[in-house]
Amino acid sequence: MHKVILIGNLGSDPEQREAGWDRATNFSVAVNDRWKDSEGEKQTRTIWYRVAAWGKLGDICHEHLQKRRKVYIEGRLISDNETGGPRIWTREDGTPAAAFELRAESIEFLDSAVEKAADMVVVPADMTEG
């Protein structure tokens, strides 16, 4: 068993699609990783995650979230079936890209505008299953 916790900002508006017998809502989340290097200088890098929220959780995200909103997400990493690592692809311009994918089990909206709209909706994992 594993659990991943992210706090970050949406990099895209949620997109919803039918996936067989259920609905999936996908969006990207940017998480800033901060540390001090060996010289004591502050360093920052942004790590991008692709998030999938299913069923009612996805519906709520699709309705209330938008690009740049801050979220707290708990879920589990979904690895590439072939490599066991992040999903890897080639962009249209020919450059390589990779992304970690997270299946959301619960999401808290941390942005005040979203909090008011959704009344801090937290959907537990058992409601995310179809």
Q: How far apart are CA 18 and CA 38, in angstroms?
A: 48
- At 65-74, the pLDDT tens digits run 999 999 999 9
Task: Give the pLDDT confidence score for residue 86 in this predicted structure.
Answer: 85
Alpha-carbon span 99 to 49, nearest angstrom: 6
- Give every CB contact of residue 90 below 8 A, 6+ residues apart in sequence: 96, 97
Q: How many beta carbons lie within 10 A of that of residue 1, not counting itself?
A: 3
Supply the CATH classification number for the domain 4-128. 2.40.50.140
Question: Above 80 in pLDDT, residue 23?
Answer: yes
pTM, entire model: 0.75
Residue 53 has pLDDT above 80, yes or no: yes
98, 35 Cβ separation under 8 angstroms: no
Residue indicated by tokens 């808290």: 108
pLDDT of residue 128: 45
Predicted local confidence at residue 61, as pLDDT: 93
Least confident of 31-35, 61-65, 97-101, 122-126: 122-126
11-21 pLDDT per residue, tens:
999 999 987 77
Higher pLDDT, 121 or 84: 84
pLDDT band for position 123 (cuts 50, 70, 90): low
In this predicted model, what pLDDT tens digit does every residue of 99-118 receive, in sequence order? 778 999 999 999 765 555 55
Residue labelled with tokens 């996936």: 19
Classify burial at 12, counting beta carbons within 10 Å of its beta carbon; exposed 0-12, middle 13-18, buried 19 or more: middle
> Could you tell me the pLDDT band of residue 130, with boundaries at 50, 70 and 90?
very low
